[in-house]
Amino acid sequence: MSNVRLGVIGLGNMGTMTANYLLKGEIEGAELAAVCEMYPDRLKWAAGHFPSSVTGFDSIEAMLTSGSIDAVYIATPHFDHPAIAIRAFECGLHVLTEKPAGVYTKQVRQMNEAAARAGTVFGIMYNARTQPLYRKLRELVISGELGAIRRTNWIVTNWYRPQSYYDSGTWRGTWAGEGGGVLINQAPHQLDLWQWTIDMMPRRIRASCYFGKNRDIEVEDEVIAFAEYENGATGQLITSTGESPGTNRYEVVGDRGKLVIEDGNMTFWRLRVPESEFNRTSTDLFRQPECWKCDIPLPKQGKDGHLLTTQNFADAIRTGTPLIAPGEEGIKGLMLSNAMHLSTWTDRWVDLPIDEDLYLSHLEERMRTSRFKRSKDGAE
């Protein structure tokens, strides 16, 4: 099969990086065919930087309808992901979008519907799914080594951003510009991994998002979230952009022991017999199951995760390889994020799946009064 001709939309950090590794031939079966960039200076830079085989566009519509590409990689500000993706599907293209796929689940549902109609491949850049730590955790859960999941606790507060970061763009930290704070911009990978690693979504969420607590922003910079699962398990996720040095510690407790990921290491306290079985049979008032502390070996990650995810996308198009993160799954982490906002706004438990229209009405109210104003074409 011939190479996938890829168009990169948005030449910021991620778009430029991706264009560069495509040009270097690092993705087998794919080639950089076009780039699209709305800022003239940046497009001019691209014309000088990329070979003539790469067509430059200043209009997304022109690129999508040019016939010169088979697929797009979307690396624009995230608010624009859904409209671009849906239009690309209408043009019969395959789509790989940066995370988050959208700002609210209703958008992502529409993206998936458009992909289904087009029958093309829809992938999400959840490149953290390629990390050996999280792949291994998921494998241990799915293979039953941990037993039924009982409780999770993920403290991921190492997303430090000073005020100068938020001040670097007028859209930053605003409802109209970003549609959320740490949940949308910094922690989407963890939100995705939180459900992917244990292979289940919560039944309901109770969260406290703190808006503009440590920074002069409209959106949340600290979140404390509870989750309850159908099987009785509970979970917490704590994230913040205001703490330094921060913590990244993920604890998962199952019927067969406890697993902790911290500092890039994975430790499994493995029970010789499942707790539930021990509990049924033990006659001693204070004894506990025999427990082995096991250091779990992790394979080395051969290549960068971003590159691996793009490779997987190309393989999915060419040979039907299953996607690492199919579009249908983009909704899951976003559902968690939306539920955390909604729980805070309503000061109540939020059942999943959430009421998408209720969420959207709350969000739109905040976007209307946001200090960031969008121009007609959606950009600043």
**Nearer residue to a copy of itself within complex by CB, 157 or 310:** 157
**Nearer residue to a copy of itself within complex by CB, 12 or 29:** 12
In b/e form, how buried is each residue of 228-261, taking b as 16+ CB within 10 angstroms?
Answer: bbeeebebbbbbbbbbeeeebebbbbbbbbbbbb
**Nearer residue to a copy of itself within complex by CB, 205 or 324:** 205
Residue with tokens 């289940």: 200
Quickly list DSSP for 231-280: TS-EEEEEEESS-SS--EEEEEEETTEEEEEETTEEEEEEESS-HHHHHH
**Nearer residue to a copy of itself within complex by CB, 61 or 230:** 230
Helix (H, G, I), strand (E, B) or coil at 95: strand
CA 167 vs. chain centroid, Å, equals 24
Q: Shortest gap between Cβ of 211 and a copy of itself (angstroms)?
A: 12
**Nearer residue to a copy of itself within complex by CB, 20 or 214:** 214
Other C-beta atoms lying within 10 Å of the C-beta of residue 285: 5
How far is Cα 353 from Cα 360, in angstroms, rounded to an integer?
14
For residues 229 and 254, the answer to whether their CB atoms sit within 8 Å is no
Q: Shortest gap between Cβ of 168 and a copy of itself (angstroms)?
A: 5
| Cβ contacts of 375-378, under 8 Å, gap ≥ 24 | 378/79, 378/80, 378/83
Q: Shortest gap between Cβ of 176 and a copy of itself (angstroms)?
A: 21
**Six token digits for residue 313:** 């996308």
The backbone torsions φ and ψ at residue 316, rounded to the nearest 5 degrees and listed phi first, read: -60, -40
**Nearer residue to a copy of itself within complex by CB, 41 or 347:** 347
| Sites of contact with a copy of itself (CB under 8 A) | 150-151, 153, 155, 157, 160-165, 168, 206, 208, 210, 213-215, 222, 224, 226, 228, 232, 234, 236, 238, 240, 242-247, 251, 253, 257-258, 260, 269, 271, 275, 278-280, 282-289, 291, 347, 349
Taking Cα atoms as reference points, which of 207, 267, 228 lies closest to residue 150? 228
**Nearer residue to a copy of itself within complex by CB, 189 or 206:** 206
Q: Shortest gap between Cβ of 256 and a copy of itself (angstroms)?
A: 10
- Look up residue 213 and give its amino acid: K
Q: Shortest gap between Cβ of 233 and a copy of itself (angstroms)?
A: 10
Q: Shortest gap between Cβ of 239 and a copy of itself (angstroms)?
A: 11
- Give me the sheet containing 204-211, strands edge to edge: 291-295, 265-271, 257-262, 248-254, 149-156, 234-240, 220-228, 204-211, 350-351
Q: Shortest gap between Cβ of 237 and a copy of itself (angstroms)?
A: 11
**Nearer residue to a copy of itself within complex by CB, 49 or 204:** 204
Q: Shortest gap between Cβ of 275 and a copy of itself (angstroms)?
A: 5
